[in-house]
Amino acid sequence: MLIFRQLADPVSSTYTYLLGDFESGDAILIDPVYDQVLRDAALVDELDLWLKWTIDTHVHADHVTGAWLLKNRVRSRIAFSKASGADGADRLLEQGDRIAFGDRFLEVRATPGHTNGCITLVLDDRRMAFTGDCVLIRGCGRTDFQQGDPRALFRSVHEQVFTLPEECILYPGHDYRGLTATSVAEEKRYNPRLREGIGEEDFAGYMNNLGLPHPKQIEVAVPANLHCGRPEANREEPMVQTWAPLTLTFAGIHELHPVYLEECFSCVQIVDVREAVEWSGPLGHIESAKFIPLAELAKRAGELDREKPIVTVCRSGARSAQAVVILQRLGFAQVANLAGGMIRWRASGLHAVGARD
Ligand SMILES: N[C@@H](CCC(=O)N[C@@H](CS)C(=O)NCC(=O)O)C(=O)O
Ligand SMILES: [Fe+2]
């Protein structure tokens, strides 16, 4: 069974695609975004997948790729097209190459034009293709920088994309209106630049007069992407809290496992957000915890030390996740939820004051 997710980066309107093989757990991310790496890694983890490869469809001009950061964090390997000129990849891709994940694979098609190193990735059964910025929904990638060439793009579309089955679903690298997918048949009929009947000359004329401003991030993105997204020495990792071995859920909450909390008792403030009856109930409470019911948290936040990391606790980990959200809204930067709450704390055999078994 194929696992498939389309993920959006709202800042750059970029789509990232997760493809996984359910049986083996092998997965691929196409076009990960640097600032979304923790989100994407959380999803891979929650779906019980193992990230084997990241593949960039091209050297992006509008965002930094997450390829290098993912390699660092989860040991995925980096694939980039040979023609892109990027250095630091584990595999350089060329026309006809296959990248396997479990029993499935993606076929590489060279589709230069937006940049000279653009590729389109076609799923083994040809039901899906990931066109990067070659074919966009009722549009296509611009051709006015990074060795862009409208005539090359025209040929790429007609020879490599429009030759796929009519029903093949095309997933673009961006959409600026929030549209998600299209098909070969639709684009052949309705793409205002590329539909049947439009010739290479017409297309070049159209593309040479787009008059778009350069992407805002181009000066940062292109040099970083030519090194597969390896940051300058002083560039910070996104949303990383380093005070404990935290994990981030796909829901966006930082969590701490009970065993790690026990190890860093002295350096954190523990806030128990349950009701009074629960605080003195059979699950007991953690010895050094401060008791502030969730409904009072916002108005009593002044009782907490802003310099010291906070771990929130409740019965199951649900209300304390909301406590994390509330504290972050109030400007607390170092906050995490105790995963599984007092139930998991007790199930892990850890001490609780007043607990009755
Ligand atoms: N406003 C965006 C522009 C992004 C842009 O130029 N995107 C390129 C792809 S990297 C493109 O081909 N856009 C086609 C279009 O806008 O029609 C930004 O600053 O990032
Ligand atoms: Fe692009």
Q: Once rounded to an integer, what is the mean pLDDT over residues 254-283?
A: 95
pLDDT digits (tens, 9 = 90+) for 28-79: 999 999 999 999 999 999 999 999 999 999 999 999 999 999 999 999 999 9
Pocket test for ligand 1, best of 60, 212, 219, 225 (most atoms within 8 A of CB): 212
Handedness of CA 254, 258, 260, 263 (dihedral sign): positive
Separation CA 98–CA 104 (nearest Å): 10
8 Å CB contact between 190 and 206:
no
User: In angstroms, what is the span from residue 313 Cα to ligand 2's centroid?
Assistant: 44
Where do the DSSP E strands lie in 162-215?
169-172, 182-183
Q: Where are the alpha helices (DSSP H) in the chain?
A: 37-46, 67-74, 150-156, 184-190, 200-207, 218-225, 258-263, 276-279, 294-300, 319-329, 341-347
* Per-residue pLDDT reduced to its tens digit, 143-170: 999 999 999 999 999 999 999 999 999 9
Atom of ligand 1 nearest to the CA of 176: 16
Mean pLDDT of 221-229: 97
C-beta 142 within 6 A of ligand 1: yes
Ligand 1 atom nearest the C-alpha of 174 is: 9
Which ligand gives the minimal distance to the CA of 118? 2
What SS3 string covers 241-305? CCCCCCEECCCCCEEECHHHHHHCHHHCEEEECCCHHHHCCCCCECCCCEECCHHHHHHHHHHCC
* Ligand 1 near 138 CB (within 6 A): no
Angle at 205 between CA 204 and CA 208, to 5 degrees: 80
> Which segment of 197-206, 261-270, 305-314 scores lowest on mean pLDDT?
261-270
What is the Å distance from ligand 2's center to 187 Cα? 19
Whole-number Å distance between alpha carbons of 103 and 57: 22
Mutation pick for ligand 1 pocket among 60, 62, 133, 143 (CB with most ligand atoms within 8 Å)? 62
According to the model, what pLDDT value does residue 75 have? Answer: 97
**Residue ID of nearest Cα to ligand 1 atom 9:** 141
Does the C-beta of 132 come closer than 6 Å to ligand 1? Answer: no
Per the DSSP assignment, residues forming a β-bridge with 14 are 9, 174
List CB contacts of 187: < 8 A, sequence separation 6 or more.
135, 137, 138, 161, 162, 170, 194, 195
Q: Find the Cα–Cα–Cα–Cα dihedral 171, 175, 181, 187, rounded to 10°.
A: -90
**Cβ neighbours of residue 293 closer than 8 Å, sequence gap 6 or more:** 273, 274, 275, 276
Whole-number pLDDT of residue 32:
98
Q: What percent of the chain has pLDDT over 70?
A: 99
pTM of the model: 0.93
pLDDT of residue 236: 66
Whether 241 shows a pLDDT value over 90: the answer reads no
Q: Please tell me the distance from the alpha carbon of residue 43 to that of residue 313, in angstroms, as a whole number.
A: 24
**Ligand 1 pocket test: which of 31, 131, 176 has the largest number of ligand atoms within 8 Å of its C-beta?**
176
* 172 Cα: distance to centroid of ligand 1 (angstroms): 13
> SS3 of 202, please?
helix
Tens digits of per-residue pLDDT, 290-335? 999 999 999 999 999 999 999 999 999 999 999 999 999 999 999 9
Distance from residue 174's CA to the centre of ligand 2 (Å): 8
Q: What is the rounded average pLDDT of the residues 273-278? A: 98
